[in-house]
Chains A and B, each alone.
Chain A
Amino acid sequence: MSARRIFARPARFAAIAPYLWMALFFLVPFGFVLKISLSQTAIAQPPYLPVFDLAAGWTALKAAFAALSIDNFKLLVSDELYVFAYVRSLTVAATATALLLLIGYPIAYGMARLPKRWQAVAMVLVIVPFWTSFLIRIYAWINILQHDGLLNQILLALHLVNQPVVWLSTDSAMYLGIVYSYLPFMILPLYATLAKMEPALEEAAADLGAPPLQVFWLVTFPLSLPGVGAGVLLCFIPIVGEFVIPDLLAGSNSLMIGQTLWLEFFTNKDWPVASAAAIVLLIVLLAPLLLYERLQRRQLEKR
């Protein structure tokens, strides 16, 4: 037997502990979300009915099953508030992802063209903000965007505006916050594919007479598509369920689904509806999630 195969056997045993952990704390909880989403709201602690009680025996279990209802899902589909929240989440995520691609691509492209030594420095510079707290970076923007904040002071000083502009609680502020927070997630996968690209390909196209823009569209961009895919999924999926950024930067007249879920859970204490909202969100995101999982696996296990 080869050394590789002998090594594989104990390596497989290493899976047991993380396997059990993730099964218990990641997989099983979805069962509870599903269960609660099918139960009724109650003014109690915890605030839902019915509760399965295995000790109560078969008849009680059957009664509990009979009491399950899809009322919460009916509510989600019929109430405009929720439908709007899902539509808004998807449009915001799509728009923000497009913006991120538009802004992130030139930066990643610039990085990939730096001399090798500087590439490592640029990479660290892009990663460091990712390590810095998410909440703090949003807060930094509140500092700048508020009524008498730095941005308005500069605009007033330059006489570009006559009175302070309202930036906070607008969609522009929210998009700014999202782009700012997720930019490293877009740049890094793009940079990874662009840096691996053979420069001779671009040079050959240029030598054959293609103008720079044509070289980019016919050679560079198509070859970078795997990076584009990874970056887009890495941004799009979490943005759909984003809570903190719209909550702190956007106005309160139209909510994203993450905010609606939060509101139902923490303010209205309606756990069943919050659970149903989570299940629907999960179903909406299932396709991109599976796609991302495949991309990730192929990337990490290709050797």
Chain B
Amino acid sequence: MRKSSRLSRFNIASLALGLAFLYLPILILVIYSFNDSRLVTVWGGWSLRWYREFFNDRAMIEAAWMSLRVAVCSATIAALLGTLAAVALSRGERFRGRTLFSGMLYAPLVMPEVITGLSLLLLFVALNAERGFWTVTIAHTTLTMCFVAVVVQSRLGSLDRSLEEAAMDLGCDPVRAFVAVTLPLIAPAIVAGWMLAFTLSLDDLVIASFTTGPGSATLPIRIYSEVRLGVKPEINAICTLVIALIAVVIVIASLASKLSSSRGESAAPL
């Protein structure tokens, strides 16, 4: 049949070019982070000096620590709330306010961050909340739980409902059927959602800038203020460390979804 001729030369070329476009800049960044020269553009041999520089930079380390704490806290709350939202949307049939609910969950996915950030800040000011770790965590949770909800909801939608219905026919009450049957099946999606929330939080500059207070900058805020002043080799090193951390997170996410999903089905990372 025509199967063999389906992939044309044009298809292969566009794939190769597309992937090169996506990966080359990151690769160059990583390579130059090991450059010994102070000039970012001159190759002075392999070296770890910019990594040492980073570990001696107190302000940077503090910002990184703040970002990590925010990311872990907000991703955990977001995974919980997002899963609840996904369950309600995909198993709750019709309920009052459902359209508003799904609207509130899908809108933040595309809402420009300047709007979300500004509106949350005005809320925190009105509530007289002290801005810092918790306000950023709440802001990130609000954004990332929507991503978790979408990931888990698409997993729930592809599940065979007769499994949980069989459990109920065999005498489980709904909660037990959910915990014993549904939850293990959607666990990979929840893990993937947590990871996505974690990386989104670690990455966010705009919302964090609006909602944080003096003296508690996150890593992207620090990186941004350095980048505005120009390219510095130390920033290359920090970026490489962040990329490495995210790579580890992705590997764990895909391993988790491989291990816990039956029949080799893996949850889509998005």
Contacts and interface: CB of A to CB of B under 8 A. Distances in A.
The answer to whether A binds B is yes
A133 B88 contact: no
A41 interface: no
Contacts of A244: 205-206, 224
Contacts, number: 299
B153 interface: yes
Interface string B83-106: 011011111110101000111111
Contact of A203 (B2, B93, B103, B196): B2
Interface string A214-238: 0000000000000000000110011
B106 A292 contact: yes
Contacts of A275: 118, 122
A301 B90 contact: yes
Contacts of B228: 248
Contact of B25 (A26, A46, A128, A144): A144
Contacts of A115: 7
Given A7-B164, A8-B93, A150 B87 contact: no
* Residue from the set B21, B82, B210 with the largest chain A CB neighbour count within 10 Å: B21
B252 interface: no
Contact of B82 (A2, A18, A33, A149): A18
Nearest to A241: B112
Interface in A231-270: 233-234, 237-238, 240-244, 248, 258, 261-262, 265-266
A159 interface: no
Nearest to B30: A140
Interface residues on B, range: 35 or more
Interface in A118-147: 122-137, 139-144, 146
B95 A274 contact: no
Contacts of B107: 26, 289, 293
Contact of A22 (B40, B105, B250): B105
B165 A23 contact: no
Interface stretch (B51-59, B183-191, B234-242): B234-242
Contacts of A285: 112
A188 interface: yes
A82 interface: no
B217 interface: no
Contacts of A141: 25
A81 B59 CA distance: 37
A6 B142 contact: no
Contacts of A30: 119
Contact of A281 (B89, B115, B196): B115
Contacts of B122: 29, 32-33, 36, 271, 275
A117 interface: no
B123 A238 contact: no
* Residue from the set A2, A12, A150, A282 with the largest chain B CB neighbour count within 10 Å: A12
B124 to A, nearest CB: 9
Contacts of B88: 11-15, 18
Interface residues of A, number: 105
B41 interface: yes
A143 B270 contact: no
B112 A240 contact: yes
A21 B142 contact: yes
A248 to B, nearest CB: 7
Given A7-B174, A143-B28, A183-B22, A136 B91 contact: no
A242 B88 CA distance: 32
Nearest to B82: A18
Contacts of A62: none
Contacts of A150: 28, 41
B177 interface: yes
A169 interface: no
Interface in B184-240: 195-196, 199, 202-203, 205-206, 209-210, 220, 223-224, 227-228, 230-231, 235-236, 239
The 5 closest A-B pairs by CB, nearest first: A241-B112, A15-B88, A29-B119, A106-B14, A107-B18
27 contacts: A2-B165, A3-B165, A7-B174, A18-B149, A25-B139, A29-B119, A29-B123, A30-B119, A113-B11, A124-B254, A124-B269, A135-B203, A140-B28, A140-B239, A143-B32, A146-B230, A150-B28, A238-B113, A241-B113, A244-B224, A265-B118, A278-B115, A285-B112, A293-B107, A296-B109, A297-B106, A301-B157
Interface of B: 2, 6-8, 10-12, 14-15, 18-19, 21-23, 25-26, 28-29, 32, 39-41, 81-82, 84-85, 87-93, 95, 97, 101-116, 118-120, 122-123, 125-126, 138-139, 141-142, 145, 149-150, 153-154, 157, 161, 164-165, 168-169, 174-175, 177-178, 195-196, 199, 202-203, 205-206, 209-210, 220, 223-224, 227-228, 230-231, 235-236, 239, 242-243, 246, 249-250, 254, 268-270
Given A8-B93, A238-B113, 4 more contacts: A14-B85, A131-B249, A134-B203, A244-B224
Interface of A: 2-15, 17-19, 21-30, 32-33, 36, 46, 103, 106-107, 109-111, 113-115, 122-137, 139-144, 146, 148-150, 153, 180, 183-184, 187-188, 199, 203, 206, 233-234, 237-238, 240-244, 248, 258, 261-262, 265-266, 271, 274-275, 278, 281-282, 285, 289, 292-293, 296-297, 300-301, 303
